[in-house]
């Protein structure tokens, strides 16, 4: 993996600025720091301002595991960015929620996992998230959640940081959702920044893509990395500066 903010990576960032590039970002762990409870996640004021400037200069989309309604609330004040929720399954298009399926999953999970301390199930309309960050035995909790998920029908399991996500198996993943946005907007390049296992489908997107992971990892489809989530502001600022006409020269 190559450090995206290094001098050696300047050429690829400059190329993104010169092309019709779709700038795409995950939310938790990327635009906002990871927190103890998902409801506590907040995007910093500087990040919010810079993201708004990027969205004014580039086609821009946020692709998150959160529901669209939740994500829109977190992004309030950022104009121009499209929002895709539930790991790629929930777009602006009006499609029916798999309510009955999720209710069946939730009932089954509660029967199998209800005695485990520190677990809670979040219903996001198009997917379930089984959180175990508060569990005193995280390894065992994850093993039990995955075992319970194998008993569910029509489910796709999406990993995460101390959470197991359950999505209807036919729903688009982040990679498919990102490809659809790229084609819809007529972009010939994609920049995607994420931080987690559930971003790997997007990192592996075919075509001209610059996949960036928050935190270096050996086994990842991402070819570039940022050292920490705090560096997202530096990247956003560079995207803005390089888009300015006076900056579009080799350097």
Domain coverage including residue 147: 99-168
The reply to whether the predicted model has a pTM over 0.85 is yes
Contacts 24+ apart (CB under 8 A), 166-170: 166/105, 166/127, 166/128, 166/129, 166/130, 167/86, 167/87, 167/89, 167/126, 167/127, 168/89, 168/98, 168/101, 168/126, 168/127
Q: Is the pLDDT of residue 59 over 90?
A: yes
57 and 81, same domain (yes or no): yes
83 and 176, same domain (yes or no): yes
> What digits encode the pLDDT tens for the residues 127-147?
999 999 999 999 999 999 999
> What digits encode the pLDDT tens for the residues 148-174?
999 999 999 998 889 999 999 889 999
In the chain, the number of structural domains is 2
Please give the positions annotated as active site: 26
141 and 58, same domain (yes or no): no
- Please state the separation of Cα 107 from the chain's center in Å: 27
On average, the pLDDT of the chain sits at 92
181 and 138, same domain (yes or no): no
Cα separation, 199 vs 249, in Å, equals 32
Among 111, 141, 168, where does a domain finish? 168
Q: Is the pLDDT of residue 53 over 50?
A: yes
Among 141, 168, 195, where does a domain finish? 168
Cα separation, 200 vs 164, in Å, equals 15
85 and 20, same domain (yes or no): yes
Q: Are 7 and 21 in contact (CB under 8 A)?
A: no
Q: Is the pLDDT of residue 249 over 70?
A: no
108 and 53, same domain (yes or no): no
Across residues 31-43, what is the average pLDDT?
Answer: 89
9 and 78, same domain (yes or no): yes
**Sheet holding 21-25: strands in order across?**
2-3, 224-226, 209-214, 189-194, 21-25, 60-63, 82-84
Cα separation, 106 vs 80, in Å, equals 35
Q: Number of helices (H) and strands (E), helices first, in the chain?
A: 8, 11
First to last CA, the chain: 22
Beta bridge partners of 122: 129
pLDDT at position 114 is: 83
Cα separation, 68 vs 242, in Å, equals 30
84 and 113, same domain (yes or no): no
145 and 50, same domain (yes or no): no
Among 168, 187, 220, where does a domain finish? 168
For 38: left if phi > 0, alpha if psi spans -120 to 50, otherwise beta; the answer is alpha
Residue 245's pLDDT band, with cuts at 50, 70 and 90, is low
Q: Is the pLDDT of residue 248 over 70?
A: no
47 and 30, same domain (yes or no): yes
Neighbouring residues of 40: CB distance < 8 A, sequence distance ≥ 6: none
184 and 146, same domain (yes or no): no
């Amino acid at each position: 993996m190559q450090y995206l903010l290094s001098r050696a990576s300047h050429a690829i960032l400059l190329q993104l600025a010169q092309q019709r590039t779709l700038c795409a970002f995950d939310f938790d762990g990327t635009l906002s720091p990871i927190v103890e409870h998902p409801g506590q996640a907040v995007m910093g004021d500087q990040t919010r301002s810079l993201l708004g400037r990027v969205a004014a200069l580039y086609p821009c989309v946020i692709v998150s595991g959160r529901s669209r309604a939740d994500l829109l609330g977190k992004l309030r004040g950022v104009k121009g960015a499209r929002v895709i929720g539930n790991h790629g399954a929930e777009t602006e298009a009006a499609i029916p929620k798999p309510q009955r399926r999720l209710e069946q999953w939730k009932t089954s999970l509660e029967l199998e996992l209800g005695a485990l301390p520190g677990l809670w199930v979040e219903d996001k309309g198009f997917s379930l998230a089984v959180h175990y960050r508060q569990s005193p035995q995280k390894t065992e909790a994850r093993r039990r959640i995955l075992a319970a998920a194998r008993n569910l029908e029509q489910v796709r399991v999406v990993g995460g940081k101390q959470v197991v996500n359950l999505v209807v198996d036919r729903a688009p993943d982040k990679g498919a959702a990102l490809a659809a946005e790229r084609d819809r907007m007529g972009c010939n390049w994609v920049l995607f920044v994420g931080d987690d296992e559930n971003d790997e489908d997007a990192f592996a997107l075919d075509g001209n893509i610059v996949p960036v992971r928050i935190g270096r990892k050996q086994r990842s489809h991402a070819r570039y990395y940022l050292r920490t989530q705090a560096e997202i502001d530096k990247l956003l600022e560079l995207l803005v500066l390089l888009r300015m006409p006076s900056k579009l020269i080799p350097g």
